[in-house]
Chain A
Amino acid sequence: MELHQGSLDVEAIFSKWLHEEEASNYGAYIPFVGTIRAEDGIEALSFDIYEPVLQQWFDNWVKKAEELGAKVKMAHAIGDVPVHTSSYISAVFSPKRRVALELIDEFVEDFKANAPIWKYDVKEGKRIYAADRSTPMNGSGLLSK
């Protein structure tokens, strides 16, 4: 897992991951790239990350992938990411395509639901929490009981 200040260098990360696994005998490499779209007048999106819990979330996925003979990788941006640049890349390597195709779906969806990352729209230089696009993590509401 890697965290970068600002936009991700997609080509460099793709290339690095490819070379890291070029002798691993994986038959499939499936990357997912998240790019900031221009919409609702935003200049950028901005991200806060709580790294200790994110690392544990990721480590659990590493173990889950290993049990299937696969490997997961992930990169995410911290701070402001201008439109038309990338904030998030994840990838699955596996011996055969089926495991990778299924795992990238689960991995990206669980990332959206449970990775401790907070998103803000940036408009006229101000950060506005994207409350309506955010999801309570598993186990939310414990302290309201």
Chain B
Amino acid sequence: MVKVEFLGPMAQESIELEAKTLADVATQLQKIDSIAAWLDKCAVAVNDQMTADLGMVLKEGDKISILPPVCGG
């Protein structure tokens, strides 16, 4: 299982998924309406490292963070 957490304004509880790659996570999150609406504008970190690799292989216990649009300052 991997843990997916939704940061900032997404107001979603963390969920746990069976996933071998980030692409598996994408497929499952796209089926959840309240999350799917955010995905086109969210960045992704795996174990707190930003990534742009959808094929990234995941291991048991990995933490995936979903980061919606930002505005610091």
Of chain B, the residue at the smallest CB distance from A113 is B70
User: Does B25 contact A143, Cβ atoms closer than 8 Å?
Assistant: yes
Counted as pairs of residues, one from A and one from B, with CB atoms less than 8 Å apart, the total is 116
Nearest Cβ on chain B to A55's Cβ, whole angstroms: 9
User: Does B67 contact A141, Cβ atoms closer than 8 Å?
Assistant: no
User: Does B42 contact A140, Cβ atoms closer than 8 Å?
Assistant: yes
User: Does A118 contact B52, Cβ atoms closer than 8 Å?
Assistant: no
Nearest Cβ on chain A to B4's Cβ, whole angstroms: 10
Interface residue total, chain B, C-beta cutoff 8 A: 31
User: Does B44 contact A115, Cβ atoms closer than 8 Å?
Assistant: no
List the A side residues contacting B71 at CB < 8 Å: 112, 117-119, 130, 133-135
Nearest Cβ on chain B to A1's Cβ, whole angstroms: 12
User: Does B26 contact A143, Cβ atoms closer than 8 Å?
Assistant: yes
Nearest Cβ on chain A to B15's Cβ, whole angstroms: 13
Give 22 pairs: A residue, B residue, CB < 8 Å, sorted on A. A47-B72, A53-B48, A53-B65, A56-B50, A111-B72, A112-B71, A115-B72, A116-B8, A117-B71, A131-B9, A134-B71, A136-B43, A138-B43, A139-B44, A140-B41, A141-B40, A143-B29, A143-B39, A144-B26, A144-B36, A145-B26, A145-B54
Interface residue total, chain A, C-beta cutoff 8 A: 38
Chain B positions 19-73 with a Cβ under 8 Å from a chain A Cβ? 22, 25-26, 29-30, 36, 39-45, 48-52, 54, 65-73
